[in-house]
Amino acid sequence: MFTSIAGRAAVVTGATRGIGKGIAQVFAGAGARVLIVGRDTDAAKVTVAELSATGAEVSYLLADVSRREDCRRIAATAAERLGGIDVLCANAGIFPSAPLAEMTDENIDEVLGTNLKGAILSVQACLPALAASGRGRVILTSSITGPITGFPGWSHYGASKAGQLGFLRTAAIELAASGITINAVLPGNIVTEGLADLGEEYQAQMAASIPLRRLGTVEEIGHTVLFLATDEAGYITGQAIVVDGGQVLPESLAALDG
Ligand code: NAP
């Protein structure tokens, strides 16, 4: 039995939809007070309405994690509304496709700026509050793409997600003195609005390459993130947990035939 996280203050970036919304839902269901962050007002309102309907304390803030000033506002708003931050889920991310031969400066800056710089800025801005918590937890949403696998069109994305792991290993050492742990979850292919944008053929192709023969759910990522936020996970830091239905395991397509 895990110690309840009821009443704890959690910030989830990129939570207006997709995996972040799933993380926010799981945390709200566990009794945490949640601040969701994103840029789309309509989606934010819908998410807050849905999660609040269960009686949970959930509010939203419009902010772009690639901007330092916006990240400062995230920390300030959490201080004002939640009285601090116990858990930061740095989940906001984008995955537009661009073949390497045609990749522009804008393509590179957009993906690295949101996924890698955005994660660093979010953590940096929330550090004082996480340290004040005395049991601060940071969970990054990385990916299997980059740290473990590759996919055409996503070399910049893969670099951003592998870069997050490079960041967290040193951050884990620096933050340990403040009692803060920082870990990452590496989702495989998870059913989200963002993934749906990639088309049905992409999803079917992915499902066929996964030993469990299905894509993951946002709740399955949320529960892993929740575990890393518990008191019982307090001795885990600087680590990455793959949640992918076994997708990274087969050595060849034949390995899936048995
Ligand atoms: P999604 O459905 O497209 O949702 C992305 C979320 O990030 C949205 O809430 C979006 O909110 C927010 N966001 C994007 N850019 C932002 C910015 N600059 N500032 C603040 N919020 C921003 O994507 P998803 O599939 O849930 O992906 C979420 C995370 O999981 C990403 O880091 C992604 O790389 C990672 N991931 C996903 C999968 C998968 O299979 N789905 C697999 C591995 C890793 P607004 O539109 O409101 O700004």
- Does 122 contact ligand 1 (Cβ within 6 A)? no
258 pLDDT higher than 80:
no
Q: Give the three-class secondary structure for 30.
A: coil
Distance 177 CA to ligand 1 centre (A): 30
The predicted-structure confidence for 156-192, as pLDDT tens digits, reads as follows 999 999 999 999 999 999 999 999 999 999 999 999 9
Distance 194 CA to ligand 1 centre (A): 7
Helix, strand, coil shares, percent, the chain, to 5: 50, 15, 35
- Is ligand 1 within 6 A of the CB of residue 19? yes
* Ligand 1 neighbour 128 (Cβ under 6 A): no
Asked about 157 being catalytic, the answer comes back as: yes
Domains located in the chain, CATH noted: 9-245 (3.40.50.720)
Instruction: From the CA of 142, give the closest atom in ligand 1.
Output: 44
Residue to probe by mutation, ligand 1, list 141, 210, 225, most atoms within 8 Å of CB: 141
Query: pLDDT (tens digit, 9 = 90+) per residue, 58-111?
Result: 999 999 999 999 999 999 999 999 999 999 999 999 999 999 999 999 999 999
- Asked if 91 and 13 touch (Cβ cutoff 8 Å), the reply is yes
Mean pLDDT of the chain: 97
Q: What is the phi-psi region of residue 187: left when phi exceeds 0, alpha when psi lies from -120 to 50, beta otherwise?
A: beta
Compute, in angstroms, the gap from residue 18 CA to the centroid of ligand 1.
6
For residue range 32-59, what is the model confidence (pLDDT) as tens digits?
999 999 999 999 999 999 999 999 999 9
Q: Which of 94, 120, 122, 145 to mutate for ligand 1's pocket (most ligand atoms within 8 Å of CB)? A: 94
Q: What is the pLDDT of residues 121-148, one digit of tens each?
A: 999 999 999 999 999 999 999 999 999 9
| Atom of ligand 1 minimally distant from the CA of 70 | 19
Q: According to the model, what pLDDT value does residue 218 have?
A: 98
Atom of ligand 1 nearest to the CA of 115: 32
Share of the chain above pLDDT 90, in %: 95
DSSP, residue by residue, 145-213: BTTTB--TT-HHHHHHHHHHHHHHHHHHHHHHTTT-EEEEEEE-SB--HHHHTT-HHHHHHHHHTSTTS
